[in-house]
Structure 1
Amino acid sequence: MSRADNARHVPDMAGMDQRAVAERLLDWFASARRDLPWRRTYDPYHVLVSEVMLQQTQMERVVPYFLRWMDRFPDLESLARASEDEVLRLWEGLGYYSRGRSLLAAAGVLVREHGGAVPDDRETLLTLPGVGPYTAGAVRSVAFNLPEPAVDANVERVLARLTNLELPARDPRAKEFLRETARGLIPEGRARDFNQALMELGALVCLPRTPRCPECPLAGFCVARSLGVAELRPLAGPPKEVVRLRMASGLLLRDGRLYIQKRRPNDVWPGLWEFPGGVLEEGESPEQALAREFREEVELDVRPLAPAVEVRYSYTRYRVTMHAFYCADAGGPAAPRMNEAVDGRFVTPGELSRYAFPAGHRRVISFVLDDPRLKEFLARS
């Protein structure tokens, strides 16, 4: 792209009164800010945990998880002593489980190498597991009030509309422009409030599909609004491919217990527990897939007793329909071989709450624990 083409897409900020923008936004934030638990002290550990939890997750979902997390792990030392199983169980339902494992690993590093404290320098923060440029910027600005931009999806949207950025937010030129624009708007000594105000504006007013422009404190400065294109900014990138999968999973019943297994570290949902199963191959019925998966994964012959439940869930670009079955040994009881897992055990229904499961399997559990057939099948197993 030529320099002239680039200029048409990257706005010129010379005509914007950046100081007035910042002052107007801060005035709005003073009255509109939400009472969030990590805003009460700005403890660096609290800020770090909240920012990791907020990655790709809405605020209202994060707050109860944050409160439970802090009740169990009030400081880095208590987190560093935790087991991965305990962390994943506490994280269950929040999704993107690598974030929980990264927090556990980061706590270990900070306790061993930094005296159990979250550092304020960018280079050290970026060496921590799970901490990228955005999280490092958020911790530095929100916890330590340092003049560092923190550009998340909400901030991208606000600044793309404010400046009428004619590039998708994922474009490298757009990322650089948005980061430097955010940096240039930070008032001296007000990084904490300003960055949070930008995020808050994007979350409450400058919404993705239906921006509330009449309520926006920056409406008078917004170039996209003045041109009537606010809803079209930021420009959309190429659509992500959606992959639809059908899966079969089995609740193997034996001696009043159910079999569960723990996924391998390099697999999808590493470290989480599941019921054996997998994706249907072409031409297979769910029952056929169930029998094949048990032979491949645990070297057991099973027969379905009855359908348990069908659940639908999503993760990343996948849309999954999972057929869950109650099943029993078909060739006589034998010890599972665990070809696709690192651990396996038979547990009572009441013990299932001790283990962390992916969302789809947890939905199966929620259903079968209320299913009167489960007690009958267990009694016969």
Structure 2
Amino acid sequence: MTDGDAPEFDDPAAVRDALVAWYEADHRAFPWRETADPYEILVSEVMSQQTQLDRVVDAWRDFLDRWPSVEALAAADRAAVVSFWTDHSLGYNNRAKYLHEAAGQVVGGAVDGVDAGEWPRDPEGLSELMGVGPYTANAVASFAFDNGDAVVDTNVKRVLYRAFDVPDDDAAFEAAASALMPDGQSRVWNNAIMELGGVACQKTPRCDEESCPWREWCHAYRTGDFTAPDVPTQPSFEGSRRQFRGRVISTLTEYDELPLDDLGPRIRVDYAPDGEYGRGWLRELVSDLSEDGLVELDDRGGATTVRLRR
């Protein structure tokens, strides 16, 4: 594959279906994923720039409680919007100013070919709004109107680089992302592939723990090389979840079955039933292994026993 060319997928339909099914079965529940309101989505996208998503949730809700519509924000005092931004530690205050200005543009009909109070529905039109760059414009077009292009952010690049050995080149990433995205499904697809990068294909991968739907095609999973453009060296195996999963399997190979409190000290020396790395931590670990079909859990008698699945 040369830079800028789309990769060849043996079964692109299977790749697409596997990711969408994985996402729809279970994903992080952020409130902006439950709306198609372009105003609410734009607020979430601007807030999410360089801010952890878990921190954005409360700020997003507070913002919408105070300014529930684009008309309300446009009519607000700009100083109040900037003050809100500062009080919620949302980063550069210019984002608040631009968001306020963009609301005024929508209400005032400042976007070419769009009536006052109406939103542009494609990335090109949304890019005319103040402070809305190509990525944010595409996100709003995708999630509000299902009318976007394939998103390519850092997480998506990491996924494509690892899974399909796409070269570290912006044109190659764009081509690969576009080739994969099913026509007319930018909303679910862009949510799904970003979720994959944010949950399973993190800098330190959680392939098995999160039941990554692309394992059977993934170059990194096959070779064990999980480097990526934003992961220049192999993530440490020592102390990783993958290491403890392996220890569980090795221990049960020797003992066949063990209660949690007997298994725990055999896989980590700092195991304490009620501690940070105790029953709750271990139960989550073995539950993941159970979901992957590697172990069986027996909860009879008020205690959990773990055994290898034969």
In the superposition, the TM-score normalised over structure 1's length comes to: 0.55
Identify the match of residue 211 of structure 1 among 193, 205, 222: 205
Identify the match of residue 78 of structure 1 among 49, 69, 72: 72
Contact 2:4 2:173 survives alignment (8 Å): no
1:179 — aligned with what?
174
The structure 1 segments of at least 4 consecutive aligned residues displaced by more than 3 Å after TM superposition are: 9-12
**Pairing 1:71-220 to 2, within 5 Å after superposition:** 71-92=65-86, 93-113=89-109, 114-167=115-168, 174-208=169-203, 210-214=204-208, 215-220=211-216
Shift of 1:149: 1.4
Distance 1:147 1:20, change over 3 A: farther
Shift of 1:16: 4.0
Separation of aligned partners in 2, 1:107 and 1:11: 38
TM-superposition CA deviations, 1:300-351 (whole Å, max 9, x none): xxxxxxxxxxxxxxxxxxxxxxxxxxxxxxxxxxxxxxxxxxxxxxxxxxxx
Aligned amino acid, residue 203 of structure 1: G
Distance 1:38 1:202, change over 3 A: same
Contact 1:106 1:129 survives alignment (8 Å): yes
Aligned amino acid, residue 219 of structure 1: R
Separation of aligned partners in 2, 1:223 and 1:176: 20
Aligned amino acid, residue 136 of structure 2: T
**Is 1:64 the counterpart of 2:58 in the alignment?**
yes
TM-superposition CA deviations, 1:44-96 (whole Å, max 9, x none): 11111111111221110111110011001111111011122111121120112
Shift of 1:235: 5.4
Shift of 1:236: 5.6
Shift of 1:129: 1.2
Does the residue aligned with 2:187 lie in a helix, a strand or coil? helix
Aligned amino acid, residue 165 of structure 1: V
Separation of aligned partners in 2, 1:20 and 1:68: 41
Contact 1:11 1:164 survives alignment (8 Å): no
TM-superposition CA deviations, 1:166-223 (whole Å, max 9, x none): 42xxxxxx22221222122112332211110011111111111x11122211111112
Distance 1:128 1:12, change over 3 A: closer
Shift of 1:26: 0.4
Shift of 1:147: 4.5
Q: Which runs of 5+ in 1 are unaligned?
A: 1-5, 168-173, 238-381
Separation of aligned partners in 2, 1:193 and 1:12: 21
Shift of 1:10: 6.5
Contact 1:111 1:117 survives alignment (8 Å): yes
Q: Which has the higher strand share?
A: 1
Separation of aligned partners in 1, 2:96 and 2:10: 41
Separation of aligned partners in 1, 2:121 and 2:15: 27
Separation of aligned partners in 2, 1:96 and 1:160: 31
Separation of aligned partners in 2, 1:121 and 1:51: 16
Does the residue aligned with 2:8 lie in a helix, a strand or coil? helix
Task: Please tell me whether Structure 1 or Structure 2 has the larger radius of gyration of its CA atoms.
Answer: 1
Aligned amino acid, residue 140 of structure 1: A
Separation of aligned partners in 1, 2:7 and 2:82: 45
Aligned residues: CA RMSD: 2.0
Separation of aligned partners in 2, 1:36 and 1:58: 12
Contact 1:162 1:224 survives alignment (8 Å): yes
Shift of 1:12: 6.0
Shift of 1:123: 2.0
Q: Which runs of 5+ in 2 are unaligned?
A: 110-114, 233-310
1:51 — aligned with what?
45
Contact 1:161 1:233 survives alignment (8 Å): yes
In the superposition, the TM-score normalised over structure 2's length comes to: 0.67
